[in-house]
């Protein structure tokens, strides 16, 4: 890229607090003169028959064409006859890995000061395959699907990530002592990929032990890779270690190099429209998007402005114990740029 040529990126402001925190990202990007041209897409009020969801085909095409995007939280309307919005994005764009950097924010005190880990979650199969049925009355069955192809793909991503980000260790999280076939295959694939990366230390940790180790001493971990459901749980546990969902960014990686960054929290209907939301998670997700685009100078500048604002402590939103509104906090970040 020429760093000054505008790059088109898709933006889904999303629902609830989504538009408020998306506005914050747009403002900070404007102030930092980030060469991004947003292509905004909204969740439709009608089901698009081509996607069977409230997400339109055009929105998906926009991400496919731009290759990068930022997504606010989406509340899936309750009802029948449509697919979950997040599931539609994951399936249609083949977003196979969910990457969550999780590190202690300097100046924001939590139980630990030394968290610096990355969770990488397989995003397409496992218990999330959506294959559940009733066998007979009173007995239901859910299928956990693990394939060699998806396991190799996410393991490869995890090791490549470790290598290219100066990380030293990859831990595969599993329960293969009980789920011998499914988690067993997942581990076998991780071992195969580990052999190609002798410079990265590889270890296997049983999920229950992993939870205990994480809450006792999160510094024991570096990069963690795991099947879908374990990733769902462990990544939230890790968010809790550094101060909660309002601070945690994530990025979904898809086939063909697509990167769709998103905050991990939901649409927070309890505070929506009140100018109270903390935009940090979406802003830090936007920073991961900039790093994906190799706009590292801009990413560093925005990242440091966020960290400095929080650590200064003068402007913080209510979830971090402060009294600032979303707009006041955003303005403070702009002033720190």
Give the interface with ligand NAD as residue ranges (CB under 6 A): 17, 73-76, 86, 245-246, 262, 265-271, 277-278, 281, 319
Tell me the torsion sign for CA atoms 284, 289, 292, 296.
negative
Q: How far is the CB of 263 from ligand NAD (least distance, A)?
A: 7
Q: How far is the CB of 73 from ligand NAD (least distance, A)?
A: 4
Smaller CB separation from ligand NAD, 127 or 262: 262
> Using the 8-state DSSP alphabet, how is residue 175 labeled?
-
Question: How far, in Å, CA of 194 to CA of 25, rounded?
Answer: 38
Containing 299, the helix (H) or strand (E) segment is: helix 296-312
Quickly count: other Cβ atoms within 10 Å of residue 281's Cβ.
Answer: 24
Q: How far is the CB of 168 from ligand NAD (least distance, A)?
A: 30
Smaller CB separation from ligand NAD, 171 or 267: 267
Smaller CB separation from ligand NAD, 225 or 277: 277
Q: How far is the CB of 28 from ligand NAD (least distance, A)?
A: 15
Measured in whole angstroms, how far is the alpha carbon of residue 254 from the centre of its chain? 12
Q: How far is the CB of 21 from ligand NAD (least distance, A)?
A: 6
Smaller CB separation from ligand NAD, 219 or 245: 245
Nearest CA to 144 among 184, 110, 171, 104? Answer: 184
Question: How far, in Å, CA of 71 to CA of 261, rounded?
Answer: 6
Smaller CB separation from ligand NAD, 13 or 246: 246
List Cβ neighbours of 166 (8 Å cut-off, separation of 6 or more): none
Question: How far, in Å, CA of 119 to CA of 161, rounded?
Answer: 11
Measured in whole angstroms, how far is the alpha carbon of residue 329 from the centre of its chain? 22
Q: How far is the CB of 97 from ligand NAD (least distance, A)?
A: 15
Q: How far is the CB of 212 from ligand NAD (least distance, A)?
A: 25
Question: How far, in Å, CA of 151 to CA of 190, rounded?
Answer: 7
Smaller CB separation from ligand NAD, 175 or 303: 303
Bridge-based pairing of strands 36-40 and 95-103 is: unpaired
Smaller CB separation from ligand NAD, 44 or 201: 44
Smaller CB separation from ligand NAD, 182 or 324: 324
Q: How far is CA 335 from CA 59, 230, 276, 326, 330, in A?
A: 33, 40, 19, 14, 9
**Phi (first) and psi of residue 307, to 5 degrees:** -60, -45
Taking CB atoms, the residue at the shortest distance from ligand NAD is 266
What tokens were used for 38?
């947003």
Question: How far, in Å, CA of 297 to CA of 302, rounded?
Answer: 9
Q: How far is the CB of 83 from ligand NAD (least distance, A)?
A: 13
């Amino acid at each position: 890229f020429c760093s000054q040529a505008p790059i088109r990126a898709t933006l889904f402001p999303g629902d609830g607090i989504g538009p408020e925190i998306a506005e914050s990202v747009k403002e900070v990007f404007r102030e930092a003169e980030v060469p991004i041209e947003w292509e905004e897409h909204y969740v439709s009020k009608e089901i698009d028959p081509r996607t069977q969801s409230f997400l339109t085909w055009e929105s998906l095409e926009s991400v496919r064409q731009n290759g990068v995007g930022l997504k606010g939280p989406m509340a899936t309307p309750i009802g029948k006859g449509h697919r979950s919005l997040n599931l539609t994005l994951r399936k249609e764009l083949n977003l196979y890995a969910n990457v969550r950097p999780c590190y202690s924010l300097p100046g924001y005190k939590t139980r630990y000061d030394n968290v610096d880990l990355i969770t990488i979650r397989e995003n397409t199969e496992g218990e999330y395959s959506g294959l559940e049925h009733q066998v007979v009355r009173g007995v239901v069955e859910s299928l956990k699907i693990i394939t060699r192809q998806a396991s190799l793909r996410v393991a490869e991503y995890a090791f490549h990530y470790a290598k290219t980000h100066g990380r030293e260790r990859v831990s595969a999280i599993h329960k293969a002592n009980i789920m011998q076939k499914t988690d067993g295959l997942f581990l076998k694939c991780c071992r195969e990929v580990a052999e190609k990366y002798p410079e990265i230390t590889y270890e296997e940790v049983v999920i229950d032990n992993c939870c205990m180790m994480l809450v006792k001493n999160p510094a024991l971990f570096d990069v963690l890779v795991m099947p879908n459901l374990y990733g769902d749980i462990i990544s939230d546990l890790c968010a809790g270690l550094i101060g909660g969902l309002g601070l945690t960014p994530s990025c979904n990686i898809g086939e063909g190099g697509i990167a769709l960054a998103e905050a991990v929290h939901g649409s927070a209907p309890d505070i929506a429209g009140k100018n109270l939301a903390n935009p940090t998670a979406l802003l830090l997700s936007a920073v991961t998007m900039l790093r994906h685009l190799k706009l590292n100078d801009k990413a560093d500048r925005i990242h440091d402005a966020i960290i400095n604002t929080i650590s200064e402590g003068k402007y913080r939103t209510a979830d971090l114990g402060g009294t600032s509104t979303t707009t006041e906090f955003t303005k403070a970040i702009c002033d720190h740029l």
